[in-house]
Every structure is written in C-alpha cells, then in structure tokens.
Amino acid sequence: MGMTMTEKILAAHVGRDVVRPGEIHFVPVDCVMANDVTAPIAIEQFERTGATEVFDPERIILVPDHYVPNKDVKAAEQAKVMRAFARKHRLPFYYEVGRSCVCHCLVPEEGHVTAGDVMVGADSHSCTHGALGAFATGMGSTDVGVIFALGETWLRVPESIRCVFRGEPANPYVGGKDYILALLGKIGVAGARYRALEFCGDAIESLTMAGRFTLCNMAVEAGAKNGIVACDDTTLDYITEHPGADPHVRDDDSVAEDIFRERRPPVVHQSDPDAAYCETHEFDVTGLEPQVACPHAPSNVKLVSQVAGVRIDQAFIGSCTNGRYEDLKLAADILADHPVAPYVRLIVIPASLQDYRRCIREGLDEVFVDAGGVFSTPTCGPCLGGHMGVLASGEVCVSTSNRNFRGRMGHLDAQVYLANPAVVAASAVLGRIGSPEELHS
C-alpha cells in the first residue's frame, strides 16, 4: 500500500521508507515560528528546559503581528520579551514592526518554507503553509519552546481525508474561501480532528497560490492537523518568485557577520495512487454560490442568497486568510464606483508587506479611502478582536477572516459572518450582507 503526501514528508524526515497513521515519531523541523502572543510563553518554556542556546538561529522566525504597533502596555511588554530573546540568541529572522506583516503571509513570502518541509508554528493557522506542498501545523507554545531547544517534536502520523474539488465556477466571485466553507459546512468543526486534509482535483489545480493558502489556512477550522496541496508548477513558480531575503537584522549585538542563509531546495511529494484515505469528499464547484459562515461557527454555512439582508455595522477585509493582493484587488474592483453605506465601517488591512506596497503603487489604497473605508499597514488587528476594529455589543461584522466564534472580534454579544472578499466588499456598499451581482442589477 502506498503513502499520502503527508506520510511521505514525515517518513523522509524520520529516515524511514514507510510510516503509517497512528505511529508516533520524533520529527526534526525545518523551521519554527512564533508571534507576539505565543512567543513569550514559548520563551518561558525554553528557559525551563535549561538550554542555553537555540537549536539553530536561522530556523527560528519571530514575527510580532497580532497587537502591533503596540496597542497598550501589555502588548508592548509581550513584544519586548520577544525582541530581547531574538537579540540574546542572535536570531537573524526577527521581524520588527515596519518589516513584519501577518506571520502566515510573511513566512512563505520570505522563503522560510518550501515544498517537502516540516514547519511548526505557535499559532493554529500555521497549517496555511501546507499550500506549498509542506507538512505545516500549529502547536501550543510550550511544545514550541521545547522545539526552540531541540529542533524536533513528536508527532502522531495523521490519517488523511481526500477532498476532491472538480469543475470551474460559473460565478466569477467564487474561489478558495467558498471551497473551504463548503467543506466545513459538510463535515463540521470536528470533522477532520487530527487528520490531514488533502485538497486535490482540477478546481484546486487551477487555483492561485492565494486561493490555496486560504484553503489550507482554514483546515484547522475542521480540527485538522494539517492541510496540504500537491506541489505543482504553480507552487514552484511561487517558490522561485519568493526566494527569501538575507537576514536584515545586522547590528553588531544581534547577528554575527558571517550569517548567510542558503535556502533549502523544494522536495516534491505526490500521493501514491494506492494511498489509503479514511474518507473522501467530492465537490462540483461549477454551480457553487458564494458561501457565508454564520454565527457562531465556521461550519454554520449558508448560501449568500440565504442570508442576504442581514444588516451589518462593520466589514473587514484582511487577515491571513484573505488579506493578500488578489483578495484586495477583487474588493477594490467592486468598491471603485460604489461608496460604503452610511453607518458602516469598512476596514481594509493587507496581510502582506509586499502586497501593502503593491496596493499603494497601484492606487488601491485610494480606492478604499475614496469609498469611505480605512486602509492600514499589515497587522492581525480586528481578526482576533485585538485592535483596530473591535466590535461592541450587538454589532454585526462580515469578515474575510477565518473564525467567528462568540467573542472572537470583540463583545460576546457581537455577531461575525465569514465570507469571501467580493461578498464583504459588496456588503459594505449595500449596508447588509449581499452579493456583488446586486450592485450591477
């Protein structure tokens, strides 16, 4: 019997010809990431191990992104702990404010993950990076603190669920966000618990990398250990276009002069034809309508036509799920000739520094501001109810983010709906949840 992509990556890392679901192995990691919320706890755990040095300074990525620029004193102290650790251990890939962006966009753009890698992050949405044909998963901060010291972690090999998406959407506003919401609506928030979600089919092959990142990002919303898409020409083109920067922290007390980062070459793994899957789910996306996740679960999914008319107070376009250039351009095209409805707040936050700059070069920032929205430098901000868009009691937000649990974006009595960027932009104009086609009627 053959192996899935996930099994092959883990087998290669533990030096075995074959691994099977249920086996437990100690697996070396290619890179480990933490942010300003999770890194301080990981650093505390690292100190408890008694280690005096990290396993490899060049494989640790620290990204302040959740509460930055610092929203209050507590956030400033969290960032200070992170900064001091990076300086003490001479970490070349600590990304200070002004160079940082949302961690799950920064890590692939800066070339820290490539096909065939094992990547671990102290953030549940670290599964995003499976879009590159890697095994990527989120872990608790205490586990990550031990990885800082040892460079390896224990993993139980997950079973795999095959998710086949076929066809070409007839609706131009349907994409990766709608695919994953359709899956979540079918299997629920625990439907893939500690399993690998493997996305395949011609509809996946035609997706851009932005769409694939969105798919894998929300695998964890089904409880998955990881999400993964096979590495193909689209993946390899992205990897080639994002070779990674040299270390940019160069002051004498932070980084040794001789540090030079040599990128790992991609290793392409394909699932075998006779690989075993515990489940298979198939979707024909041809007639798929934009999907909307209603409060208070990503699996409470309805068609946009079923929730059209729900009044909104806020529309948020951003996050590691749908804050990339492709998402922002789609929203800007809709907003170009349509002002935001009265009493509605439109907040647009690019997730990527590269995409933030591109938006400015191409004038997308002016489109958002002219429509009556606000445009910010990259940060997680309102996605987790951190800052720059926290909801009051009873308020309703339609968001491109990935999670809509009660209290996620602010008050416990607020309501969050999840949708793709086109639906969110159209809703901001309509003052209620609605589809882009309504603006053309």
pLDDT along the chain (441 residues), means of 10: 97 98 98 97 97 97 95 95 97 94 96 97 98 98 98 98 98 98 98 98 98 98 98 97 69 47 85 98 98 98 97 98 97 96 98 96 98 96 93 98 96 98 98 94 65
Same domain, yes or no: 219 and 329: no
Task: State the pLDDT at residue 246.
Answer: 62
Query: How far is the C-alpha of 122 from the C-alpha of 64, rounded, in Å?
Result: 12
377 and 327 share one domain: yes
Q: Which pLDDT score, from 0 to 100, does residue 247 have?
A: 65
Cβ-in-10-Å burial (0-12, 13-18, 19+) of 412 comes to exposed
**Helices and strands in the chain, H and E counts:** 15, 17
Q: Mapping DSSP to helix (H, G, I), strand (E, B) and coil, where does residue 323 land?
A: coil
Sign of CA dihedral 131, 330, 408, 293: negative
Please say whether the dihedral angle defined by the alpha carbons of residues 146, 149, 154 and 159, taken in this order, is positive or negative. positive
Same domain flag for 203 and 115: yes
What is the domain extent for residue 317?
Answer: 291-439
Domain boundary among 261, 282, 303: 282
pLDDT at 256: 43
326 is written with which tokens? 């492709």
* CA angle, residues 342, 310, 188, in degrees to nearest 5: 135
Residues 6+ apart with CB under 8 A from 6: 135, 157, 158, 160, 196, 198, 226, 228
Per-residue pLDDT reduced to its tens digit, 4-34: 999 999 999 999 999 999 999 999 999 999 9
Tell me, what CATH number does 226's domain have? 3.30.499.10
Number of separate domains in the chain? 2
Strands (E) in 201-284, as ranges, are: 226-229, 279-284
Q: What is the pLDDT of residue 257?
A: 43
| Contact in structure between 409 and 278 (CB atoms under 8 Å) | no
* pLDDT recorded at residue 244: 73
Whether 176 and 298 map to the same domain: the answer is no
pLDDT at 9: 98
For residue range 193-207, list pLDDT tens digits in order. Answer: 999 999 999 999 999
Which tokens belong to 216? 């894998």
Say yes or no: 216 and 301 in one domain: no
- Sequence-separated (6 or more) residues with CB below 8 Å from residue 237: none
**Is residue 196 domain-shared with residue 338, that is, in the same domain?**
no
